[in-house]
Amino acid sequence: MFELVDATKRYGPLVALAPLSLTITAGERLALMGPSGSGKTTLLHLLAGVIQPDEGRVAIAGRSTETLRPGRDLARLVGVMAQGFDLVPSLAVVHNVLAGRLGEWGIGRSLLSLVFPRELPLAQAALNRVGVGTKLYERTARLSGGEQQRVALARLLVQQPRAILADEPVSSVDPARAEDLLTLLVEVAAEDGRTLIASMHAVPLALRYFSRVIALRHGHLVFDRATTAVTEADLTALYDLRQEEARDVR
């Protein structure tokens, strides 16, 4: 599904991602771990095709992201859930969900839908699926953070991409809700054999819900293992690294 060959990303002198090569097969559930600033978001953006590597290459479903301009083709392959959900706050929930169809819609339908929502059953079903079915016509800004997250997921449901990339999907919700949301995310991904890649802060959650873990630090790969093969030593190492990072910040 995804292939990175020596993909590198720099911001000025800062190496956000050192040359990284990896292959992600369809249907994998992959967690990205590492302290903040380690390059998780950068890697997700490279995988989503919204930024291009400075060196090396990134391919999605066999096509280089160089040739995959943002638009319908890319939207059919990957769906992104940004760290701040990034919904349009002043729109009704239904329009934020149906925005997942914009890649497929022409000008008439896009305009008309803002007045009389098109493909309403699709939006309703998606919202029911993520548990906020009653909020269809609510202004998005009025929803709680957790509800907005679910709306963002509903948008991905109507977009139907082959892979879902989520940036810290549970970092801003309390632990109980985090489990619910991850369960939902994993179920939704599993339904159509979608690939799921999420950056995660909490180690136990990452181990419980994902099949593979990639750990980064300062843009460098620390380890890349199946969840079952992650050892105490790996975790201690990562844990220590995180302590050190915390001290650096102070």
Partner 1 sequence: MTSAKASPAPLGGGPPAGHVPIRGRGLLTLLLLGALTWSLTTVPWGEPLVHPGGLTVLGEMLVAALHPTVSAEFLGIALAASWRTVAYATAGVSLAILLAFPAGVLASGVLVRHPVLRALTSGASRALLGVLRAIHELVWALLFVAAIGLSPFAAVLALALPYAGILGRILAEILEDVPPGPLAALRAAGAREWQVLLYGRLPQAFPNMVSYALYRYECGIRSATIMSFVGLGGLGYQIQISLDDLRFREVWTFVYCLVVLVVLVDLWSGVIRRRLLA
Ligand X SMILES: Nc1ncnc2c1ncn2[C@@H]1O[C@H](COP(=O)(O)OP(=O)(O)O)[C@@H](O)[C@H]1O
Contact 157, 184 (CB under 8 A): no
Give me the phi and psi of 71, to 5 degrees please. Answer: 150, -160
Q: Which of 4, 31, 34, 41 binds Mg ion (CB under 5 A)?
A: 41
Rounded to whole angstroms, how far apart are CA atoms 22 and 30?
A: 12
Any residues with CB less than 8 A from the CB of 131 and at least 6 apart, and which?
150, 184
Q: Which of 54, 70, 128, 236 binds partner 1 (CB under 8 A)?
A: 70
40 binds ligand X (CB under 6 A): yes
User: Which strand (E) or helix (H) includes residue 183?
Assistant: helix 175-191
Q: Number of residues interacting with partner 1: please give it, by CB under 8 A.
A: 35
Q: Which of 37, 56, 131, 133 binds ligand X (CB under 6 A)?
A: 37
What would the two tokens of residue 135 be? 């909020």
223 binds partner 1 (CB under 8 A): no
Contact 184, 178 (CB under 8 A): no
Q: Of 38, 99, 88, 41, give the one whose Cα is nearest residue 249.
A: 38
49 binds ligand X (CB under 6 A): no
Residues 5-24 that bind ligand X (CB under 6 A): 11, 14, 16
Residue written as tokens 């995660």?
Answer: 200
Of the pair 28, 167, the CB lying nearest ligand X is at: 167
117 binds partner 1 (CB under 8 A): no
CB atoms within 10 A of CB 88: 11
* Residue 156 C-beta: closest distance to partner 1, Å: 8
217 binds ligand X (CB under 6 A): no
Rounded to whole angstroms, how far apart are CA atoms 87 and 62?
A: 30
Of the pair 181, 205, the CB lying nearest partner 1 is at: 181
34 binds ligand X (CB under 6 A): yes
38 binds Mg ion (CB under 5 A): no
Residues 154-193 that bind partner 1 (CB under 8 A): 155, 159
Fill in the per-residue mask, 57 to 76: x = in contact with ligand X (CB under 6 A), - = not in contact.
--------------------
41 binds ligand X (CB under 6 A): yes
Rounded to whole angstroms, how far apart are CA atoms 2 and 85?
A: 23
Number of H helices, E strands in the chain: 9, 10
Contact partner at residue 245 from Mg ion, partner 1, ligand X, none, CB < 5 to 8 Å by partner kind = none
The alpha carbon of residue 225 and the mean position of all alpha carbons in its chain are separated, in whole angstroms, by: 20
Binding site for ligand X (CB under 6 A): 11, 14, 16, 34, 36-42
Residue ranges in contact with partner 1 by CB under 8 A: 45, 48, 50-51, 70-72, 74-76, 78-80, 82, 84, 86-91, 95, 99-100, 102-105, 107, 110-111, 114, 152, 155, 159
